[in-house]
Structure 1
Amino acid sequence: MFIPLHDHNRLVHVPLPYVNLAIIAVTVLIFLVFQDAGEQQAVAASSYSFGLIPVVFFDLRDLAPQLQVLPEWTSVVTYAFLHGGFMHLIGNMLFLWVFGDNVEDAMGHLRYLAFYLVCAAAGGLAYAVMDVNSEVPLIGASGAVSGVVAAYLMLHPRVKVWVLVLGRIPVRLTAVWLLGAWILYQVFNAITAADSQVAWIAHIGGLAAGAVLVLVLRRPGVPLFDRNLA
């Protein structure tokens, strides 16, 4: 649909959103080093060892011993730090780069880290619960990033965001229209896209978690819906 580039939204409470930057750095490093920059065998091995596989998560089937690295329950978070290719990685990290810093600013460093991990877990659980017998590993930060998008929209719907529409046309849009359309797109695909390779339901789980968590994790006095703007 679009590629986010920049938002006109200054930080108020934190001089440097180092948790958001660290999440991006760790995710990119894992992809480049641990997943051999998207090499097929490395991606496959990491997906089965650290991705979220519903049938394994619910103890309905065991992984091969050589693939068992961490307890199964940890995969509800570890999957979010893996990606299947450069475009998968870049898309998620761009959203996190543009929108994550202001969510961290609204919450504080530690609460933002907890927020990100819980949104990842919510997205993963939504995917697993919807198909407990699935043997397909879920990987990617989309569930967590969806939570960030939901929180940003509730905090800053009136902020202007520069995006590339269709990957080439620069447009400046208000966040409520931009991210609102993005959320509707996720919901539409979650309902209609059968047998898709994209885990749309994980996005919905992350969105729901982000919308709820921002209500309780934002700093005291931080308004919703840009109520502090004239």
Structure 2
Amino acid sequence: MIPLSDDNPTLRTPVVTYLLLAVIGITWFYIQGAGVNFVALVSSVCNLGLVPGELTHQAPVGLAVPLGQGLSCVVDNEPINRFTPVTSMFLHGSWGHLLGNCLFFWVFGNNVEDSMGRLRFLAFYVICGLAAAAAQVLVDPSSPIPVVGASGAISGIMGAYLILYPRVRVNMLFFLFVIPLPAWMVLLWWFGVQVITGLPQLNQLQAEGGVAVWAHVGGFIAGVVLVKFFENHALTAQRTRWRHRLHPDHP
């Protein structure tokens, strides 16, 4: 199932949501070569992606991980590595990866920003992304495989949405049908899928690459735990009153 929209209007233009989407898009086109320049894509993932084993120094320097077309990512000890928990949030591995993340962010991000305010939302996004990176490192600290994607931070946004607006209807695309479902059902189903998918990785020496599922889990839990520390209660109450005026029949 794919989220298309929700029945949750916003009071203010979600400037930070738009800005983050723009930064992600600019990074994809100008740093990663839009998926067309494979060398640029691999170089960005290798040099700016999160490699758990580089952060923990548990992966041997010089170990090469094949990334396709005769190119490999080599474990190193460069100073840039300490910043990769942040830089990796803005990188993606393919068009599908990019568009999927942006769609989820588009559906859920504007309402969470509207409930926090812009600066709080930006801080919340980054902190959830860092929590997601930490979760992946804890699960697989010696992995030499680079991890990229905004998924961890966006998972935090989804966790926040679950707490703030559990009963708001989300319009989900299921095959050719659009089905409105309560947000709690959509988000708990998504979280359950991540946990079930990630459990086999706990018995493996290394995750399989791409965007690690445990980053999703860590980001989501961070969002659930931290949302009340970042929520602006005045904004949330104002949104709730306005939503009830627009949709008196909705919860």
Compute the TM-score of the two structures, normalised by the length of structure 1.
Answer: 0.88
Q: CA RMSD in A?
A: 2.4
Equivalent residue number for residue 135 of structure 2: 126
Shift of 1:191: 1.3
Matched, 1:214 2:227: yes
Hey, what does 2:6 align to over in structure 1? 7
Displacement, 1:69? 7.5
C-alpha spacing 1:107/1:70, structure 2 compared with 1 (3 Å)? farther
Q: 1:139 to 1:160 in 2, by over 3 A?
A: same
1:59 is displaced (CA, Å) by 3.5
* Aligned with residue 46 of structure 2, among 20, 38, 48: 48
| Aligned 8 A contact 2:54 2:77 in 1 | no
CA shift digits 1:144-171 (9 cap, x unpaired): 11101100111111111112124x3221
Identity of aligned residues (%): 38
SS at the partner of 2:233? coil
CA contact (8 A) 1:50 1:70 kept: no
**CA 1:196–1:136: 2 relative to 1, 3 Å:** closer
User: What is the CA deviation profile of residues 93-152 of structure 1, one whole-angstrom value per residue up to 9, with x for unaligned ones?
Assistant: 000001000000111101100111111111111111222211100001111111011001
Query: Which has more radius of gyration?
Result: 2
Contact 2:115 2:233 in 1 (8 A): no
* Unpaired stretches in structure 1, ≥5 consecutive residues: none
> What's 2:66 paired with?
none
- 2:216 is matched with 203
Quick check: 83-92 or 36-45, which moved more?
A: 36-45
TM-score (norm 2): 0.81
- Structure 2, unaligned stretches of length 5 or more? 63-72, 245-250
Residue in 2 that maps onto 1:171: 179
Q: How many residues align?
A: 223
Shift of 1:216: 0.5
Q: Alpha carbons of 1:69 and 1:21: their partners in 2 closer, same or farther (altered >3 Å)?
A: farther
Among 32, 36, 43, the residue aligned to 2:33: 36
